[in-house]
Structure 1
Amino acid sequence: MMTKGFLSLCIILMSSFYSAASIAKPLSYWDKSNLSMVQDVDHSQWQHILNSYLIVGEDSTAMTLFNYQGVTSADKIILKQYLTQLQSINPLQHTKVQQQAYWINLYNALTVQLILDNYPVKSITKLGERFFSFGPWDDDATVVNGKTLSLNDIEHEILRPIWQDPRIHYAVNCASYGCPNLSASAFTASNIEALLTAGAYAYINHPRGVTVKGNDLEVSSIYKWYSEDFGDNEKALIEHLQRYAKPELKQALQLFQQSPGDIDYEYDWRLNKAE
């Protein structure tokens, strides 16, 4: 049984992790691009993995699940080949939009690879090489341009600060029920804008993203961990949610603005596996 002291320590470590992540500065090395690059990165191998193992609901807001157990040895090799291909590319030779798709796909493919390497596992938070680590996000995950990067490096020192788009949070997937969906389509320069918006729409209109309970709101802890990305105050957050909310939810959010109650934050770290 977890003692109160140990639980408190975990909470402190988690708070430190998310606080540090929220104030990350862009790495100037990565904030460069080649405007003349026409050819996009080939993400067809990642699309093959998504087509084969991602379980997508009929509704556009349904949660997507991943069939980790069903991944064949041949497809594990394909995923490794895809990651090797991405590591061999210099993303700085691509346009900014090509880079954004590159980093999102790399993050998501690395996360799936990480789960496959450790499967079966109940939660990604059970992984991690560091003492008292809450998950694997600070572990070395890949090498790009000779630089070793963790998942946190990709998200908090490249994607978030360089693009400064809150929809990034709906694109990168942490292999958990509480996380926004793993996209059924690989991100590319031509579809990234539509996919970022679709991800926001799907998450906000699903109960794990936003739930109205009387005069109170229950929302994902993502909106607390990264509050500065969503305006850093309740009014800005509600406006962000309304931007992508279906009519019924949008009306409920308007009523909450008029007569605000409490906002509770929840997150489900169970693995997003298909049963």
Structure 2
Amino acid sequence: MKKITYLLLFIFITASCVGAGSLYYDTLEANEQISTNRSQLDHSEYDKLLKRYVNEEGFVDYEGLKKEHAALKSYLTYLSVNPPKKDWENGEQFAYYINLYNAATLDLILDNDMPASIKDISGPLGQVWLKEYINVNGEMYSLASIEKGVLQKMGDPRIHFAINCASYSCPKLMRDAFTGSNVDELMDRAAREFVNSDKNDLSDPANPKLSSIFKFYTSDFTDTGKSLVAYVNQYADQKINTGAKVDFKEYDWSLNDQE
């Protein structure tokens, strides 16, 4: 029965839900660097919310943020009416979609009274990721639309360390808003901090236990031309042995709420 459910979910996603629709984005060419020369949008109000309600560990004071829920929704409206355009540099596009995903996730948690887990929120086929509630330029999108339909296709696997799914095992929610000028540096920092965090156990170089994110998105990391071990070693303080037996840690979907 579980296999049938997964098959139906796969068909549903690939057939309809994660297309980019009318969202504009550039795809990085081979060895192309992210452009970080300018910023088109002002993300400062969102940045203030992050610094006020997210701690250094990436956990969120949802009770506090709820008092400024209107400010978060105002920022999402600002993003909605200012979607990426063809003359935007790709760095600004990355910043836009990362901030959109993260801010929309915070909004979703608040709209649903801060459940014990984001997975407790209903959606098509029981999948919250397929819930179309994100308004961009008058069209509705899901979290899966933004992640799989846009960010993954843009061609930089560091996005998996930059977006946050409001769960304990996720890479931490950064306290800085992404901008066109800081996005490359901030994604690099997010990758390094995540790899060396307790979300991974690299203490045994011959048998590391990696976050399930590396299992969920293996092809994204290896499409860079590196093995999964080599990709992780780019950021790891404790290097993994070449040919190591890699295991994956169980994912904790409990809410990333401050205690």
- Shorter chain as denominator, the TM-score bin is 0.7 to 0.9
More helix by share: 1
Deviations 1:54-89 (A, max 9, x none): 011xxxxxx31111122253x111111111111111
Superposition pairs of residues 119-198 of structure 1, within 5 angstroms: 119-131=113-125, 133-134=126-127, 136-161=128-153, 163-198=154-189
Q: Structure 1 unaligned runs (5+)?
A: 57-62
CA distance in 2, matches of 1:120, 1:152: 20
Corresponding residue pairs, total: 248
CA RMSD, Structure 1 to Structure 2 (Å): 3.1
Match of 1:60 in 2: none
CA distance in 2, matches of 1:245, 1:185: 22
Instruction: Give me the TM-score of the superposition, normalised by structure 2.
Output: 0.84
Report the residue type matching 2:48 in the other structure. Answer: H
Superposition pairs of residues 50-61 of structure 1, within 5 angstroms: 50-56=50-56
Q: Structure 2 unaligned runs (5+)?
A: 28-34
Match of 2:111 in 1: 117
CA distance in 1, matches of 2:255, 2:121: 12
Moved over 6 A (4+): none
Report the residue type matching 1:148 in the other structure. Answer: M
Report the residue type matching 2:213 in the other structure. Answer: I
Preserved CA contact (<8 Å) 2:62 2:257: yes
Match of 2:48 in 1: 48
- Offset of residue 11 of structure 1: 7.6
Preserved CA contact (<8 Å) 2:210 2:246: no
CA distance in 2, matches of 1:28, 1:196: 25
For 2:60, which of 66, 82, 93 is the aligned residue? 66
Secondary structure of 1:148 counterpart: strand
- Offset of residue 236 of structure 1: 0.7
Match of 1:59 in 2: none
More strand by share: 1
Q: Identity over the aligned pairs, expressed in percent? A: 34
Match of 1:217 in 2: 208
**Stretch deviating more after TM superposition (174-183 or 262-271):** 262-271
> Which of these two proteins has the greater Rg computed from alpha carbons?
1
CA distance in 1, matches of 2:214, 2:11: 15
- Offset of residue 155 of structure 1: 0.8
